[in-house]
Amino acid sequence: MTDERTGSAPAQTPTPAPTGLRRAHAWVSTTYFAEGYPYSIVNNLADILFKELGASLQVVGLTSLFHLPWNLKFLWGPFVDDYETKRRWLLASEVAITIVIVLLGLLAAAGSASLVALAAGFVLLAMLSATHDIAIDGFYLEILSERDQSTFVGYRAAAYKVAALLVKGPLIAVCALLGWTTGLLGAALLMALLLGIHAWLLPKTETPQRPWTTLAKLASWRTLPFLIIAALLFAVERWWGTGSSLLRAWRELDVAPAWLAKISVGSWIGIALLASLLTLLAALPRLRRRMNAASERGLSSYASTFVSFLDQPKIGVMLAFVLLFRTGESFLLKMSWPFFDDVVGLELESYAAMQGGVGTLAMLAGTILGGRLIARDGLRKWIWPLVLAQNLLNLLYMALAMSPDPSAVSDTVVTALLGAENFGSGLGTAAFMVYLMRTCDPRHKAGHFAIVSALMSVSFTVAGVLSGFLADALGFATYFGFTFLATVPMMVLIFFVPHLDTGRATGE
């Protein structure tokens, strides 16, 4: 039975937790493993599968577009807050993900004849996985206290990383040895196991919102024109390749700046989101009045997610802080391998082993330690030490670049440098993730976290566009010094940002 005024079902009586396994570290670890698992299948396995089935290099390159749902997930994040519970979204997503992985395994048996169907399947898997991410992040914010959110921030990062390593290593090896169908069916079996664990393990403490059936209201006649336009655009592109022809013609004119070609589609989405938020911010007083006057929930509830995100104290300072937080690290990462390749003379295999071994362990250790320190003493006490640890270690690269002969440095020194840099990065990541969680209004946890997650990509876009030009113009030693200076504006903002002591209150 539902509430006639709100359309919400009455709150369920929480199910008593089984002993032992219901502890938070268990479900945090399994849910974030389950978050990283399908993500890695889409982003690390799909291109290999397509290449093995005989796809052209151009088609293999286009598999990078499968990542787009993660860039766009802020568009449907509000629905996870407004309908049912995040637990149900999480479980329903895992059911659908398991089914789609099974279908991908069956399609792979058909070889190159199934490439189009496989592409459609991976797009669907990406959309479901992005929705799954929204539900997991929202559930984490809904169930855990602020202190526990800080405590477990490192464990979620570790579980996510383990899932990625499992896909990149053992799963791809199984597919190579036993065939793609067997490998993907095995992957689906693991996803089904996670589903069973979560159906039993996840606490039932949320109050259900409006039932899923009310989502049908959004498919009213008002959406029909948009669906028709989208179908026509797809048909025009499918039959005449208009978009591809225009893109080729634009490139042949050779009028676009070289840096423009470096911006990916996902990066453009992040830039568009930022521009849209700034536009909404300028119109915030008017939007607030309209939202207060709205009598319907429907679309106004969806819009309120974005309005409430902007309607918080010092929103301009907060947005600048989020955008700038990882700027220095982004510039550093973009030129890390070119530096070790061109100047140090490191082999790619050695670099990958150092980053994947010592680097990964150091980053996870830093994230876990940073989260525990914040949980114990608060973000305000630790933000400066954690931020300085993240950024000052960039200067180790500058010191190596300034040494008389960087190529004479031993692998032990390089490994120690990468380990220290990754440890500092992990400490900074803990502070950043805790801060992002505190920017979310309790009424719109999933939607707001999806928004700030999308904004994070903007600094990487700037670094990707400018890094090569700056390194070439400045030289590596000066460039790495610049990567530290690029963090100074963010550190200045620490004196002014909100939410260092506690997260947002409802309606703040």
How far apart, in whole angstroms, are the C-alpha atoms of residue 147 and residue 373?
10
- What are 336's two structure tokens? 């890390």
Q: Are 198 and 34 in contact (CB under 8 A)?
A: yes
Each residue of 298-316: pLDDT tens digit? Answer: 445 677 788 888 888 888 8
Residue 148 identity: D
Q: What is the mean pLDDT of residues 381-389?
A: 95
Inter-axis angle of helices 327-339 and 394-402, nearest 10: 30
Highest mean pLDDT among 156-165, 345-354, 486-495: 486-495
Distances (CA, A) of 112 to 47, 49, 54, 108, 331: 13, 10, 6, 8, 39
**DSSP calls for 101-126:** HHHHHHHHTTGGGGHHHHHHHHHHHH
Identify the residue with better confidence: 115 or 507.
Answer: 115
Q: What is the pLDDT of residue 31?
A: 95
Identify the residue with better confidence: 22 or 183.
Answer: 183
Each residue of 317-333: pLDDT tens digit? Answer: 998 999 899 888 888 98
Identify the residue with better confidence: 351 or 460.
Answer: 351
Is it the case that residue 246 has pLDDT exceeding 80?
Answer: no
Q: N- to C-terminal Cα distance for the chain? A: 32
Nearby residues of 393 by Cβ (< 8 Å), 6 or more positions away: 420, 421, 423, 424, 425
Identify the residue with better confidence: 82 or 217.
Answer: 82
Is it the case that residue 232 has pLDDT exceeding 70?
Answer: no
Is it the case that residue 439 has pLDDT exceeding 70?
Answer: yes
Q: What is the mean pLDDT of residues 65-90?
A: 86
- What are 445's two structure tokens? 């946890």
Which of the residue ranges 26-35, 229-238, 355-364, 419-428 would you say has the lowest mean pLDDT? 229-238
Q: What is the pLDDT of residue 421?
A: 93
Is it the case that residue 76 has pLDDT exceeding 90?
Answer: no
Is it the case that residue 20 has pLDDT exceeding 80?
Answer: no
Q: What is the largest CA-CA distance in the chain?
A: 76
Q: What is the pLDDT of residue 218?
A: 61
Nearby residues of 366 by Cβ (< 8 Å), 6 or more positions away: 389, 422, 423, 424, 425, 426, 427, 428, 429, 430
Q: What is the pLDDT of residue 15?
A: 42
Q: What is the pLDDT of residue 196?
A: 95
Q: Are 407 and 104 in contact (CB under 8 A)?
A: no
Identify the residue with better confidence: 369 or 352.
Answer: 369
How far apart, in whole angstroms, are the C-alpha atoms of residue 266 and residue 126?
14
The number of beta carbons lying within 10 Å of the beta carbon of residue 166 is: 17
Parse the chain into domains and list their residue ranges: 24-201, 315-493
Percent of the chain with pLDDT over 70: 77
Each residue of 164-185: pLDDT tens digit? Answer: 889 988 998 999 999 999 999 9
Is it the case that residue 293 has pLDDT exceeding 60?
Answer: no
- What are 261's two structure tokens? 């070609």
**DSSP calls for 261-324:** GG--HHHHHHHHHHHHHHHHHHTHHHHHHHHHH----HHHHHHHHHHHHHSSTTHHHHHHHHHH
Alpha helices in 294-442 (DSSP H): 298-310, 315-324, 327-339, 348-354, 360-377, 379-392, 394-402, 411-438
- Assign 46 to helix, strand or coil: helix
Is it the case that residue 6 has pLDDT exceeding 60?
Answer: no
pLDDT band at 283 (very low <50, low <70, confident <90, very high): low
Identify the residue with better confidence: 41 or 288.
Answer: 41
How far apart, in whole angstroms, are the C-alpha atoms of residue 383 and residue 432?
9
Residue 286 identity: R
- What are 114's two structure tokens? 């199934």
- What are 266's two structure tokens? 């996902």
Domain 315-493 is classified in which CATH homologous superfamily? MFS general substrate transporter like domains (1.20.1250.20)
pTM of the full predicted structure? 0.78
Q: What is the mean pLDDT of residues 24-44?
A: 91
Is it the case that residue 385 has pLDDT exceeding 70?
Answer: yes
Identify the residue with better confidence: 417 or 307.
Answer: 417
Q: What is the pLDDT of residue 216?
A: 63
- What are 267's two structure tokens? 């990066």
How far apart, in whole angstroms, are the C-alpha atoms of residue 93 and residue 96?
5
Identify the residue with better confidence: 187 or 238.
Answer: 187
Percent of the chain with pLDDT over 90: 36
Q: Are 84 and 446 in contact (CB under 8 A)?
A: no
Q: Environment class of residue 412 by beta-carbon count within 10 Å: exposed (0-12), middle (13-18) or buried (19+)? A: exposed
Each residue of 98-157: pLDDT tens digit? Answer: 999 999 999 999 888 888 899 999 999 999 999 999 999 999 998 888 888 888 988 898
Fold match, 24-201 / 315-493:
yes
What is 24-201's CATH number?
1.20.1250.20
pLDDT band at 381 (very low <50, low <70, confident <90, very high): very high
